[in-house]
């Protein structure tokens, strides 16, 4: 990458304490992007801030422990930040899968958590930040979707539905922002080895590890690298959708695993 078009800009990342969010924070810091990092786990946020501050002492770094499922808190906290620091880049990364069961056996708490985080949380953050981007006529939004938003898989019902909604909202954002300088991309990863499956299986690491046996899955750093690529495109280029899977996987149903 010969040209750095995002240096000295400010990016806000939701779900920054692990997985794609944490890797993206590191990748953007290397591009001299100032960071506002959101997450629910304050201890992890503090650790990440300390690590990044040591590696990149000249960057402006801020962390905020925030539950994006609560609109009042999102609006109050983010508007206070934007009054002092305009946000150039929004990475709507916070999301999760909780449970893996049929609709007739589904756990309502799992459903509520996925809908509130993956869909409503994304909307709350975007609704708060986009007006300022529109006023400034500049900005870049990346929504983290999923291949599950393209193709529904067995027992993925509500999770797949929330990610399909994320994809639809990405299209809607692009339509609504026609005529502005704001660009919107939906990035849809396939199988990626993060804490995703461990969260889905409620902390059962053995079950989670089996998901990634017998092939090389995507890593969080792979997603972060793609995010940097998309953000660094020239201003006249809007990469609206990226489907990204490990070479061993071609659809959610076509995955080559070499298991003894």
Look up residue 256 and give its two tokens. Answer: 């080559």
Known active-site residue 253: no
Structure confidence by residue, pLDDT tens digits, 49-76: 999 999 999 999 999 999 999 999 999 9
Instruction: Return the residue matching tokens 């994304």.
Output: 122
DSSP code string of 207-227: HHHHTTTTS--B-HHHHHHHH
Task: Indicate whether 1 pLDDT > 60.
Answer: no
Structural domain contains residue 84: yes
Structural domain contains residue 240: yes
**What pLDDT does 259 receive?**
76
CATH number of the domain residue 64 falls in: 3.40.50.720
Structural domain contains residue 242: yes
Structural domain contains residue 133: yes
Structural domain contains residue 225: yes
In angstroms, the CA 135 to CA 206 distance is 49
- Number of domains within the chain: 1
Nearest-CA neighbor of 195 among 206, 213, 207, 208?
A: 208
Identified catalytic residue from 159, 212, 229, 253: 159
Structure confidence by residue, pLDDT tens digits, 83-105: 999 999 999 999 999 999 999 99
HSE, side-chain direction, 13 A CA sphere, residue 26: 16
Q: Which residue has the higher pLDDT, 203 or 237?
A: 237
Structural domain contains residue 70: yes
Over pLDDT 90: what percentage of the chain?
Answer: 87
Structural domain contains residue 258: no
Over pLDDT 70: what percentage of the chain?
Answer: 97
């Amino acid at each position: 990458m010969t040209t750095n078009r995002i240096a000295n800009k400010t990016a806000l990342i939701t779900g920054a304490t692990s997985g794609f969010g944490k890797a993206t924070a590191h990748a953007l810091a290397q591009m001299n992007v100032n960071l506002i990092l959101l997450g629910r786990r304050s201890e992890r946020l503090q650790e990440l801030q300390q690590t990044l501050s040591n590696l990149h002492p000249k960057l402006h770094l801020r962390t905020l422990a925030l539950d994006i499922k609560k609109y009042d808190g999102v609006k109050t906290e983010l508007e206070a930040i934007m009054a002092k620091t305009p946000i150039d880049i929004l990475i709507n990364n916070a999301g999760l899968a909780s449970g893996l069961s049929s609709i007739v056996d589904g756990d309502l708490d799992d459903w509520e958590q996925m809908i509130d985080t993956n869909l409503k949380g994304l909307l709350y953050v975007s609704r708060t930040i986009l007006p300022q981007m529109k006023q400034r006529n500049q900005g870049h939004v990346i929504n983290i979707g999923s291949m599950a938003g393209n193709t529904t898989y067995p027992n993925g019902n509500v999770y797949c539905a929330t990610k399909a909604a994320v994809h639809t909202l990405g299209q809607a954002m692009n339509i609504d922002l026609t005529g502005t300088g704001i660009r919107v991309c939906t990035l849809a990863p396939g199988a990626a080895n993060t804490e995703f499956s461990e969260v889905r299986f409620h902390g059962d690491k053995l079950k989670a590890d089996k998901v990634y046996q017998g092939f090389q899955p995507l890593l969080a750093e792979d997603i972060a690298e793609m995010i940097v690529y998309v953000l660094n495109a020239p201003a006249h280029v809007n990469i609206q959708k990226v489907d990204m899977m490990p070479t061993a996987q071609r659809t959610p149903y076509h995955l080559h695993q070499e298991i003894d």
